[in-house]
Amino acid sequence: MAKHLAKTEKPKKKAVIDLKEREIKIPEGKRKKRANAHAPKQEDTFQTAMLNKTLDRKFSLYELALAFLALLLLVVAWFLPTSGPVRLLTFLVPLLLAGFTYLFEAFQEAFMGIVLGRELIFSLASLLAFCAGSYAGGAAVMVFVKLSDLALAYVERIQSEKVSALYALRAEKANLVKGSDVSVIRASELKAGDVFEVYAGETVPADGVILDGTSVLDASSLVGGSFSIPVAAGSTAVSGSVNITAPVRIRATDDQQNSTCSTLIRAAENSWMHKSSQERLIQRVISYASPILVIAALALAIAPSITTGNWQMWFTRSAVVLTASQLYSIVQSVKLTYDCAAAYAAARGLIFKGHDAIEALSRAETIVFDKTGTVTEGRYRIKDVFPKGVSESQLLFLAGAAELNSRHPIAQALVTASGVYASDIKVVSIEETPGRGVCAFIDGRNVYVGNAALMEEHGISYDNPSVPGSAIHVSIDNRYVGHIILDDAVREGAFDALEELRISGVKTSVLLTGDVHSSARKIASVLNFDLVKAELTPEEKEKAVEYLMTNRNVNTTLAFVGDGICDTEVLRRATVGIALGCLDKPEAMEAADIAILGENIHMLPKAYQIVQRASRAAFRSAVVFGAVKLAVLIFGAAGVFPLTFSALLQCALVAFEAFSAYYVLNYEEGTPKPRIKWRKGRSHNERSDENFI
Ligand code: ADP
Ligand code: MG
């Protein structure tokens, strides 16, 4: 408890950093390009090739039975009172049973000139031990390598099965409409612009817009929790959701390959391509260490043998060093831990686009939130209407008409309230200024609908609202015609989600919004934000995030959580961009490093806990592995650890690590309810606004 106290109180000091007058220029070239950042790097060094090769080893019950039979025969041979060539033969049997494929691959490697091949090194260790008369050790190397490979392959299989379960989301077929004909085609053949029908019970094959029909789409399997979307003409249809009630006709907005469903399957499958810095470091260390250790092992076999003449002893010790020189299982188990976290998350509608994103989120101490649609529901309600020189319904009609094309939650509320349809009016052009509002040319008249900043930008004098809430002003041909006050509610569960994040280690929570100070302060005080900044344009939000990123503590990161409306650039910019509720927002999904498909904000602390668990497991894995390998090297070379014991120890270690990755994959649901509630209702005064930027 004391630890949590310390964690939550610290950031208050940070709030007084004077950021005023600071102008942070974001150089164009520095902007993070997620598309490129996630492009697989060509790291196909020899080590990577070898790593991928060993991962190809598949788990099967047959292989497992073979390995256990070999183990049994090894134990029997150990206790049999044999000697000389008979003893050699009794150990040769388990060696061949377990190591036949390794020996075969070693030949292939030798033939291809891959002198540092994993199989070749293990075979060499076995051979050296046999030459030195340590038959048990030679056979143990192969048996235990096989068992440890199977342990890794087993967990890997379960992990990939979880990812493969996502394939079920993808529709196989589509009912393509051509004129009056409907033909069944493969879903993968669907292209942008194609019109198709989805009948009740069928899965939507590609993202699109409903042309005809009214139904309910069930996206529960996508988001990992119950989620139904009522749809009618004009609504968005998300691929992977299931049509529940009646047939609908849809026009595809993109090719099937780029659909939400395909994108998320690809992201879950390819998260391993974007390695964490930890993995890259381990891989680099290994690429130097392994060859050096192999050379050292060979030197150990040759030099002392010549000088002392006791070649049997040095050959055996060299074999121990050779087994310890193979460090790929470290990379494999770290990779597997991250993969398991990604697979676990994918099944819950949580997409980690890379191991780098998992690692970065686990180190996040500052989390910056967008307000509208992120910590609030993003479903505005009209609270009051203040017309000036026009009637109330005229004011609402104008606002609704101008907002027809906008996806902003305010726009949606205004359109609904006005009851206007696209067919009712002749809109020539609509231009949206993010963080300000819209400018529309309706029936030959210029209409501005937006906040005070928009009015000021166009030199239109406006009335100061007398009612609290988000005020949207309206002008027609530069004549002010009144304002509308809207209100948005805090998202259900947002308070608990934020408290859970704090309990889990988030030290500073920041609220950024384009909305007015009064609304921002109200939300900030309800949710206990440490810092709040209102009336920001999307560019200013970027600058704020950039500032916090440059002023963060060493070894910590900053995460930004947004809903993808007017904040995709900020999502790209932050070390970790998290898009919440991005099921029907492909741009947000593309820009973010972590995508939460559903609207449930509780998935945020859940994601934070998963990544922390994964990176702790990965770190522990790497450290324990490194320590054990080092011990085997030192004590093996010194003759303290016999070959059989070293092989057994390394196998036990790999098995332990594989199952700790499995533990991450089976992370226990139902995190405890936050216990700290005393911060509720802290008042946010003007100071906390002014001190930030
Ligand atoms: P937030 O930062 O809270 O997510 P946005 O950046 O999306 O909010 O919008 C900030 C403000 O800009 C809104 O509160 C509103 O005043 C104004 N605004 C943005 N888009 C529109 C729009 N389409 N119509 C009217 N006002 C808008
Ligand atoms: Mg927003």
pLDDT tens by residue, 522-551 = 899 999 999 999 988 888 999 999 999 988
Average pLDDT of the chain to the nearest whole number: 83
**How far does residue 102's CA lie from ligand 1's centre (Å)?**
63
Same domain, 230 and 313: no
Residue 9 lies in a domain: no
Cα-flanking dihedrals φ and ψ of residue 346, to 5°? -60, -35
Same domain, 149 and 58: yes
pLDDT of residue 427: 63
Mutate to test the pocket of ligand 1, among 374, 380, 408 (most ligand atoms within 8 A of CB): 408
> For atom 23 of ligand 1, which residue has the closest CA?
437
**What domain range includes position 123?**
48-162+271-339+613-665
pLDDT of residue 129: 92
pLDDT of residue 57: 66
Same domain, 517 and 461: no
Same domain, 474 and 432: yes
- Residue 515's CATH number: 3.40.50.1000
Name the DSSP letter for residue 202.
P
Neighbours of ion ligand 2 (CB under 5 A): 370, 372-373, 565
**How far does residue 297's CA lie from ligand 1's centre (Å)?**
66
**168 or 192: which leads in pLDDT:** 192
User: Of 487, 512, 531, which marks where a domain is finished?
Assistant: 487
> For atom 2 of ligand 1, which residue has the closest CA?
513
Q: Which residues line ligand 1 (CB under 6 A)?
A: 370-373, 403, 406, 408, 410-411, 432, 435-438, 449-451, 470, 472, 513-515, 565-566
pLDDT of residue 56: 55
Residue 295 lies in a domain: yes
CA distances (Å), 300 to each of 313, 474, 630, in order? 10, 84, 16
User: Rounded CA gap, 240 and 238, in Å?
Assistant: 6
**What is the number of domains present in the chain?**
4
> Does 365 have pLDDT greater than 80?
yes
Residue 43 lies in a domain: no
567 touches 373 (CB < 8 A): no
Residue of 234, 239, 232, 231 whose CA lies nearest to 260: 239
> For atom 22 of ligand 1, which residue has the closest CA?
437
**309 Rama class: left (phi>0) / alpha (psi -120 to 50) / beta:** left
Same domain, 396 and 452: yes
Same domain, 147 and 275: yes
Residue of 495, 540, 485 whose CA lies nearest to 692: 540
Lowest mean pLDDT: which of 33-37, 620-624, 666-670? 33-37
Same domain, 402 and 474: yes
Residue of 237, 294, 405, 338 whose CA lies nearest to 47: 294
Which helix or strand (DSSP H or E) is residue 116 part of? none
Q: What is the mean pLDDT of residues 262-278?
A: 83
Same domain, 398 and 478: yes
> For atom 9 of ligand 1, which residue has the closest CA?
435
571 touches 591 (CB < 8 A): yes
Same domain, 494 and 553: yes
Same domain, 123 and 152: yes
**How far does residue 509's CA lie from ligand 1's centre (Å)?**
21
Write down the residue that tokens 């598309």 correspond to. 35
pLDDT of residue 306: 85
593 touches 274 (CB < 8 A): no
User: Of 597, 622, 649, which marks where a domain is finished?
Assistant: 597
User: Rounded CA gap, 264 and 275, in Å?
Assistant: 18
Chain segment 593-636, per-residue pLDDT in tens: 999 988 889 999 999 999 998 988 889 888 998 999 999 999 98
Chain segment 412-469, per-residue pLDDT in tens: 999 999 887 777 777 667 888 888 999 998 888 899 999 999 999 999 999 999 888 8
User: Of 444, 459, 487, which marks where a domain is finished?
Assistant: 487
Name the DSSP letter for residue 39.
S
> Does 474 have pLDDT greater than 70?
yes
> For atom 21 of ligand 1, which residue has the closest CA?
437
User: Rounded CA gap, 409 and 133, in Å?
Assistant: 78
Which helix or strand (DSSP H or E) is residue 500 part of? helix 494-504
Q: What is the mean pLDDT of residues 201-212?
A: 93
Mutate to test the pocket of ligand 1, among 369, 370, 372 (most ligand atoms within 8 A of CB): 372
> For atom 16 of ligand 1, which residue has the closest CA?
451
CA distances (Å), 687 to each of 18, 680, 690, 692, in order? 11, 19, 5, 9
CA dihedral of 642, 647, 650, 651, whole degrees rounded to 10: -150
Mutate to test the pocket of ligand 1, among 566, 580, 585 (most ligand atoms within 8 A of CB): 566
pLDDT of residue 50: 45
Q: What is the mean pLDDT of residues 346-362?
A: 90
**How far does residue 300's CA lie from ligand 2's centre (Å)?**
64
Residue 433 lies in a domain: yes
Tokens for 516? 């007015």
Same domain, 517 and 659: no
Cα-flanking dihedrals φ and ψ of residue 194, to 5°? -65, 145
Residue 567 lies in a domain: yes
Same domain, 481 and 503: no
